[in-house]
C-alpha cells in the first residue's frame, strides 16, 4: 500500500487493473472524417455517443490529468461506500505515474492503493529509457519494491506492472519482461503483463518470463477479453497457471479502434468466458477489473466509473449462475493471494 503494509484480511474487494492518472495521448487514432469535428472539443452530451464509439479519436479523452483528479476522489469515496476495499494502480514508466495522487486517494477515501513499477510499451519511452540495459531496469524495479519509488522515496511499490509489450515484441519490451522475471524470482513479488493484440502474445510473454526465472503463479495476464477470442485458446492459455484477467468491464462497444476486425465482447460475454474457466476447474486463476484509462469512462464524464463491477457486474454474475462464494473468490481471495508476498525491508 502507498501508506505501508496492511493485513491481507483488510484488502477486501479489489480491482486489480486500474489507473488514476496517465497520459495516453500517444495512442490517438483518427476517427472517421465525417465525425472528426465532433471530437475536437471536450466531452459533451452532443458528442458523448461518438466518443464512446471512437474513444481514441478524441485527444481530450486520452488523459487522466489535473482536471480528472476531483472526479477520481469522488469516485473512490463512492467505491469505498459501495463496498470496495482496494485498487491496484497499474500506471508504469512511460505513462506518467502519479504516486502523490495515489497517496491522496488513500488518505481521503480509506481505499487501499497499491502502486506499481515497471515499463510500458517501447513506443512511449524516452530514448534514454529505451537504451536502458536489462540490469538497469532490474535495479530500478528492485529499488522501488524494496526501498521506495525513484520519484517518491517514502512509498514502496507493491507489484511490478503493468509491464507492456506490443506484437511482435520489441527488444526493449523483451528486456523489460526478462528483468521483471529476474526481480520476481528474487522477491517472489506479483507482476502484471499487458500483451500485444494477438492471441500469440500472452503465450510468448509467459515463455520469456518463465525462461528468465519468473514464477507464472504470481503473474497476471491482462486484457484477455480483447486478446484471445477463441474459447479453446483461452483454456489452453489458462493451463500455463497464470492469472487470467478480464479487465475491460464496462466497455460495451463492439467496435474496437485498435483492432477493427475484432469484436470487443460485452460484459455478459466476459462473464461467459469467466464461466468457461470456472468449468475448467480454474477458479483460483480469475481476476476482473475495468482498466479505466480515458475520461469518458469516469462517472463525471458520463461513464460507468470504478464501481461498475460492484454495482452491476456482480449481480449479473449471480443471475448467470455464478455463486456468491465464487464471486468472493474472484474479487477478494484471488486478488489477495496474488498481491500478497513477504516484502523485504
Largest CA distance in the chain: 57
- pLDDT tens for each residue of 74-112: 999 999 999 999 999 999 999 999 999 999 999 999 999
Give the annotated binding-site residues: 17, 19, 162, 194, 223, 291
pLDDT at 13 over 90: yes
pLDDT at 343 over 80: no
Determine if the pTM surpasses 0.95. Answer: yes
User: Which of 155, 112, 109, 93 has its CA nearest to residue 7?
Assistant: 112
User: Cα(133)–Cα(131) distance, rounded to whole angstroms?
Assistant: 6
CATH fold of the domain at 8-339: TIM Barrel (3.20.20)
Coil, strand or helix at 13: strand
Provide the residue ranges of all domains of the chain, joining segments of one domain with +.
8-339
Task: State the first-to-last Cα distance of the chain, in angstroms, to the nearest integer.
Answer: 14
Overall size of the chain counted in residues: 345
Q: Determine the pLDDT at residue 6.
A: 80
pLDDT band with cut points at 50, 70 and 90 for residue 337: very high
Q: What are the backbone dihedrals phi and psi of residue 149, each rounded to the nearest 5 degrees, phi first?
A: -65, 145
Q: How would DSSP label each residue in 255-269? A: B-TT-TTSBPPPHHH
Coil, strand or helix at 202: helix
- pLDDT tens for each residue of 259-302: 999 999 999 999 999 999 999 999 999 999 999 999 999 999 99
Give per-residue burial for 320-329: e unless 16+ CB within 10 Å, then b.
eebeeebbeb
Give the annotated binding-site residues for a divalent metal cation: 17, 19, 162, 194, 223, 291
Name the β-bridge partners of 63. Answer: 23
Amino acid at each position: 500500500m502507498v501508506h505501508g503494509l496492511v493485513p491481507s484480511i483488510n484488502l477486501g474487494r479489489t480491482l486489480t487493473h486500474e489507473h488514476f492518472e496517465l497520459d495516453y495521448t500517444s495512442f490517438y487514432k483518427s476517427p472517421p472524417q465525417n465525425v472528426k469535428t465532433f471530437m475536437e472539443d471536450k466531452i459533451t452530451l452532443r458528442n458523448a455517443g461518438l466518443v464512446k464509439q471512437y474513444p481514441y479519436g478524441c485527444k481530450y479523452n486520452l488523459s487522466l490529468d489535473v482536471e480528472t483528479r476531483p472526479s477520481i476522489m469522488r469516485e473512490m469515496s463512492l467505491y469505498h461506500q459501495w463496498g470496495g476495499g482496494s485498487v491496484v494502480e497499474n500506471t508504469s514508466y512511460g505513462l506518467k505515474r502519479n504516486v502523490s495522487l495515489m497517496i491522496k486517494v488513500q488518505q481521503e477515501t480509506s481505499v487501499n492503493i497499491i502502486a506499481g513499477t515497471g515499463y510500458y510499451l517501447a513506443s512511449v519511452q524516452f530514448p534514454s529509457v529505451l537504451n536502458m540495459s536489462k540490469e538497469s531496469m532490474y535495479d530500478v524495479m528492485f529499488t522501488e519494491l524494496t526501498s521506495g519509488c525513484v520519484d517518491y522515496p517514502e512509498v514502496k511499490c507493491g507489484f511490478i506492472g503493468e509491464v507492456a509489450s506490443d506484437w511482435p515484441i520489441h527488444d526493449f519490451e523483451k528486456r523489460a519482461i526478462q528483468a521483471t522475471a529476474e526481480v520476481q524470482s528474487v522477491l517472489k513479488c506479483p507482476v502484471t503483463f499487458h500483451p500485444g493484440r494477438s492471441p500469440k502474445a500472452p503465450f510468448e510473454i509467459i515463455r520469456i518470463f518463465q525462461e528468465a526465472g519468473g514464477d507464472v503463479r504470481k503473474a497476471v495476464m491482462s486484457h484477455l477479453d480483447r486478446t484471445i477470442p477463441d474459447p479453446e485458446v483461452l483454456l489452453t492459455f489458462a493451463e500455463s497457471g497464470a492469472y487470467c484477467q478480464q479487465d475491460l468491464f464496462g466497455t460495451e462497444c463492439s467496435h474496437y479502434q485498435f483492432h477493427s476486425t475484432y469484436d470487443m465482447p460485452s460484459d455478459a460475454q466476459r462473464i461467459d468466458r469467466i464461466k468457461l474457466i470456472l468449468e475448467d476447474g480454474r477458479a483460483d486463476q480469475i481476476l476482473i477489473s475495468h482498466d479505466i484509462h480515458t475520461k469518458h469512462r469516469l462517472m463525471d464524464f458520463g461513464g460507468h466509473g470504478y464501481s461498475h463491477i460492484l454495482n452491476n457486474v456482480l449481480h449479473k454474475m449471480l443471475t448467470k449462475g455464478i455463486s456468491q462464494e465464487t464471486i468472493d473468490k474472484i474479487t477478494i481471495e484471488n486478488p489477495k493471494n496474488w498481491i500478497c508476498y513477504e516484502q523485504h525491508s
